Amino acid sequence: MSDLMKEFLSEDEQTSSEYDELVFHEGFASQRSTPYFDALERYVDDGTIPFHVPGHQQGRGTPEAFRNFIKEKGLAADITQVLGLDDIHQPVDVCLHAQELAAKAYCSDQTFFMINGSSSGNHVMMMSVCNPGDKVIVPRNCHKSVTGAVILSGVVPVYMEPEYDMEMNVDHAVTPESVEKAIKENPDAVAVMVLSPTYYGAAADTKKIAEIVHAHDKILMVDEAWGAHLRFHDKLPISAMEAGADIAINSTHKIIAGMSQASMLHIKGNRIDRGRAHAILRLFLSTSPSCLLVASLDMARMQMATEGRKLLTQTIELADYLRDSINKIPGMKCYGREIIGRPGVHDFDPTRIVFTAKELGYTGYDMEHILRYEFNIQVELSDIFNNVALLTIGHNKELADKLIDALKKVSENPKYPKSIEVIKQFQSKTGKRFEMPDWAEHVMSTRDAFFAPYETVEFNKSQNRICCEIVTPYPPGIPILRPGDLINSEIIEYLNLELAGGAHIQGPVDYTMKTIRVVKQ
């Protein structure tokens, strides 16, 4: 350990694992700095008289109720690019310095700040790597923003099947074997995209996948929106940059301390044209970027680089406590590291608390409603069987105990309406076990179907028609139907069950799914 590192680390931190040597590199002292945040704070504290946007003028024009809610200094910092705060589109000063610090912290060669979320990051990745008409291999359980990227870029998607978990009723990651098979069947593909970790915490074997992709001289893109914290603890799955990905996105606002919509795009190696990536990025960046979002990226990076291991150790220990406690509640099941080794689960992110009360007769949608309106607790995700509660660096034992107590009360007194009876009736009527249907056959270009002349038909009578909308139970935001998919009876049946169970559908014009837009015959 260098003397420079010892200067900033306590004795306990100095004696921690060799992993710290990787994170607290020789640039550790500079990781204490927050150049962009400092510049923003100076601007606000200097009392500069603004004759620029936004119109509320440091809160003076804001309605009183909102001003009291946001507070005066927060509104004063709600500005966009001015002298002294650099230009996120073409940074040369404090923003550039902040991005360089982030690149060092995340083990990338270049990092770009994003203020339109990782959804726009997926758009930028796809269009940086591919040209219209290029073939790209992507998992079927990719986020709906990847479908948006396909439509915008004009690429031709080749879909890989993720691994389905019959017990959990969720899709996990793709395997190296699936990636290699897809590449061999599509040798003209220019790139592969992988989702890791998934919303449910399953991590792919990204290191082996990177080796396979590069052996075939192709580019690996990783949607690592749920992995902004992975780099900073050795008890977490390996990060995309360390595993060998060429380009990846992180949602810095998910597990760590970035503000909502704050994300980063990381590039490593020489396979990506960085000039083109920057040019594409400028197409998607707002021309009025929020300085608060940029500053939160700067601060979140500093916090992870200097305190990440300690904070994440506390988070992981709290997650283990919460998981163990839920598993002791009758009728509750909480998944964890025991699923490592299942197909599509090379590793697992313990900050995802994936639990189910289906043995008590509740759907995930029931549980979300009960927790929110009976116990004032809001979970991150619900599906027809599961809930996902996030454990982040902002949680503590008191908050975890409130969730545990609420689940105990539900278990002890199961008096609420049980939507899962819909599933039981389906099983009794059909003799089939409820599970995700097979993915629809993709019979038309995603882009062509999205822009094709359409007609609106009754959803229950749409079998064998080509969908021209994105149909997504949300969250997790994985489309069950994409433009160009051939609608089949199993998907109609499945979506009706999801709706009966309480699912929220995003994407189609008619979100009730009574009708759907299909390619006009």
pLDDT reading at 19 higher than 60: no
Residue 182 banded pLDDT, cuts 50, 70, 90: very high
Instruction: Write out pLDDT tens, residues 477-489.
Output: 889 999 999 999 9
In a shared domain, residues 318 and 412 = yes
> Does 254 fall in a domain?
no
- Could you tell me the end-to-end alpha-carbon distance of the chain, in angstroms, rounded to an integer? 69
| Domain membership of residue 53 as a residue range | 33-79
Q: Burial of 271 by CB count in 10 Å (0-12 exposed, 13-18 middle, 19+ buried)?
A: middle
323 within domain boundaries: yes
* Shared domain check, 479 and 384: no
User: Phi and psi at residue 83, in whole multiples of 5°?
Assistant: -55, 135
All residues at 6 or more sequence positions from 73 whose CB lies less than 8 Å from its CB, including other chains: 44
Question: Per DSSP, which regions of 44-117 are E strands?
Answer: 110-114
Specify the pLDDT at position 14.
47
pLDDT at position 417, please? 61
Chain centroid, CA 134 distance in Å? 25
CA distance 358 to 322: 19
Do 46 and 18 reside in the same domain of the chain?
no
- In this prediction, residue 420 carries a pLDDT of 63
In a domain, 514, yes or no: yes
Q: How confident is the model at residue 10 (pLDDT cuts 50, 70, 90)?
A: very low
What Å distances lie between residue 45 and 39, 41, 194, 251, CA to CA?
10, 6, 44, 29
pLDDT at 8: 38
DSSP SS3 for 490: helix
Percent of the chain exceeding pLDDT 90 equals 69
Q: Name, in order, each residue with C-beta under 8 angstroms of 88's C-beta and a sequence gap of 6 or more.
A: 81, 95, 113, 115, 285, 289, 294
Is 129 or 15 the better-scoring residue by pLDDT? 129
Residue 25, class by beta-carbon neighbours within 10 Å (0-12 exposed, 13-18 middle, 19+ buried)? middle
Q: Is residue 162 part of a domain?
A: no
SS (H, E, C) 406-422: HHHHHHHCCCCCCCCHH
**Are 407 and 449 contained in the same domain?**
no
Task: Note the pLDDT of residue 63.
Answer: 79
Is residue 375, in this structure, part of any structural domain at all? yes
Is 494 a domain residue? yes
Same domain, 315 and 412: yes
Task: In whole angstroms, give the CA distance from residue 450 to residue 23.
Answer: 44
Final residue belonging to a domain, choices 372, 389, 418: 418
342 DSSP 8-state letter: B
| 217: in domain | no
Confidence grade of residue 181 (pLDDT, cut at 50, 70, 90): very high
pLDDT digits (tens, 9 = 90+) for 382-427: 998 899 999 999 999 999 999 999 999 999 987 766 566 666 665 5
pLDDT digits (tens, 9 = 90+) for 456-477: 999 999 999 999 999 988 777 8
Asked if 17 and 54 sit in the same domain, the reply is no
Please give the pLDDT value at position 418. 59
Q: Report the domain count for the chain.
A: 4
Model confidence at 60, in pLDDT bands (50, 70, 90)?
A: confident
Q: Are residues 311 and 413 in the same domain?
A: yes
Per-residue pLDDT reduced to its tens digit, 399-408: 999 999 999 9
Q: How many Å apart are CA 173 and CA 161, to the nearest integer?
A: 9
Could you report the per-residue pLDDT of 367-379, keeping only the tens digit for each?
Answer: 999 999 999 999 9
490/343: higher pLDDT: 343
Share of the chain above pLDDT 70, in %: 90
Q: What is the pLDDT of residue 371?
A: 93
| Average pLDDT of the segment spanning 83-112 | 94
Considering the domain architecture, whether residues 27 and 43 belong to the same structural domain is answered as no
The count of other CB atoms within 10 Å of the CB of residue 58 is 19
**Shared-domain flag, residues 348 and 373:** yes
**Where residue 463 sits, what CATH number does that domain have?**
3.90.100.10
Residues in the chain: 521
Q: How far apart are CA 175 and CA 152, in angstroms?
A: 27
Structure tokens at 211: 């080796």
Categorise residue 338: left if φ over 0, alpha if ψ from -120 to 50, beta otherwise: alpha
Q: Are residues 407 and 332 in the same domain?
A: yes
Q: What is the pLDDT of residue 475?
A: 75
Quick check: is 502 in a domain? yes
The two most distant CA atoms of the chain are separated, in Å, by 72
Structure confidence at residue 15 (pLDDT): 42
* pLDDT tops 90 at residue 336: yes
Question: Is 360 strand, coil or helix?
Answer: helix
Structural contact between residues 517 and 469, judged by C-beta atoms closer than 8 angstroms:
yes
Q: Identify whether residues 26 and 57 lie together within a single domain.
A: no
More confident residue, 16 or 97: 97
* Average pLDDT in the chain: 88
Looking at the fold, whether 462 and 393 belong to one and the same domain comes out as no
Give the domain-ending residue among 391, 418, 445.
418
Other beta carbons less than 10 A from residue 361's beta carbon: 17
